Amino acid sequence: MAASVGRTGSSASCSRRCSRPRTRRSPARPAQPRRPRSSGPVRSIKRSTTVVVTVVGVTEQEPSKKVANQYERDYDYTKYWDNRDYENAAEHIAIRRLLKGNHYGKAADIGGGFGRLCILLRTFADEVTLAEPAATQLEAAKKVLAGTDIKQVQMQADDLKFADGELDLITMIRVMHHLPDPTAEFAEISRVLAPGGTAIIEVANYGHYKNRRRHKKEGTPLPTEPVNIRKTQADEPDAIAFVNHNIDTVVGQLGAAGLTLDDKLSVSNLRSQTLKKALPTKVLLTAERLTQRRLAGSNFGPSIFLKLRKP
């Protein structure tokens, strides 16, 4: 599931995931908008809904990262994926495409939630660890991963319980939308990744097609800072961060952490309730396969998968 182990993930995943994780407290600030209780994707926003959009800088308004016990809510994240076959399959397609032809020794899914992607990763690695901050997600993972040799360990993405250079493959899916400032997480990923190792990081993309079109119409540039997007005002003073990122900014942050961009894909390009109701999932996925690489250059979709290498 989620956050600082993940949107997703996880684990990031999801949501995202053994000592008690560190608590980072930001200065007192007004109540934040309501968070999704997992690393799942942004739910569709109806046109009649008022959307709160805030550019997040280093200010008192910056949403805080969550510690593990703040994910321990009465919420079954496995239910989140009901009626999301397209999104789930689109992410499997992307991971298979980015890892095709490779095999790894030790892998970890950071913020992996209940282990949604771990069985897939096991086909590419000899050993897989689900690294998730929330005990409730790890409890759900026991059922999902029953009968496998996948390890399940409670940890956060900014405090990974791995040795330097221990991992050959890292994934962090549906976690970035909980991280307004992912520099600490990127530093940890770089630390535990072996030289020549691979990381796949999914980024909730603010600069997708619809937002680019809107900013062009308004004559305003895309923000380079993370953007805090919510449907409703939070009822929790320390509500989890829920942000979309500028892809170029994220790539720069990853580079500063010592990770080099090798490839990227635009994912969930047809994420639309209208299309999902009108077209069979098989048709949507055929289009998804055809567009993931073609649309990557323009950062078209709401979800961008980055494949990174540690030199």
Whether 14 maps to a domain, the answer reads no
Whether 296 maps to a domain, the answer reads yes
Residue appearing with tokens 């680019």: 212
Q: What is the extent of the structural domain holding 192?
A: 52-309
pLDDT value for 205: 99
Whether 220 maps to a domain, the answer reads yes
More confident residue, 35 or 94: 94
Residue appearing with tokens 């030199």: 311
pLDDT value for 2: 41
pLDDT value for 240: 79
Give Cα 91 distance to the centre of its chain: 11
Whether 214 maps to a domain, the answer reads yes
Q: For 262-274, write each residue's pLDDT tens digit.
A: 999 999 999 999 9
Following DSSP, what letter does each residue of 124-168 receive, concatenated?
A: TEEEEEEEES-HHHHHHHHHHTTTS--EEEE-BTTB--S-TT-EE
- What's the pTM? 0.78
pLDDT value for 65: 53
Under DSSP, the state recorded for 140 is H
More confident residue, 261 or 82: 261
Whether 16 maps to a domain, the answer reads no
Q: For 178-204, write each residue's pLDDT tens digit.
A: 999 999 999 999 999 999 999 999 999
- pLDDT confidence tier of residue 48, bands split at 50, 70 and 90: very low
Give Cα 196 distance to the centre of its chain: 23
Of all residues in the chain, the percent with pLDDT exceeding 90 is: 69
Q: How large is the average pLDDT for residues 57-84? A: 60
Name the region of 115 (left: φ>0; alpha: ψ -120 to 50; beta: rest). left
**CATH of residue 242:** 3.40.50.150
Q: How many domains does the chain have?
A: 1
Whether 180 maps to a domain, the answer reads yes
Whether 298 maps to a domain, the answer reads yes
Lowest mean pLDDT among 18-32, 94-108, 124-138, 161-175: 18-32
- pLDDT confidence tier of residue 26, bands split at 50, 70 and 90: very low
C-alpha 113/C-alpha 8 separation (Å) is 7
Residue appearing with tokens 């990122």: 245
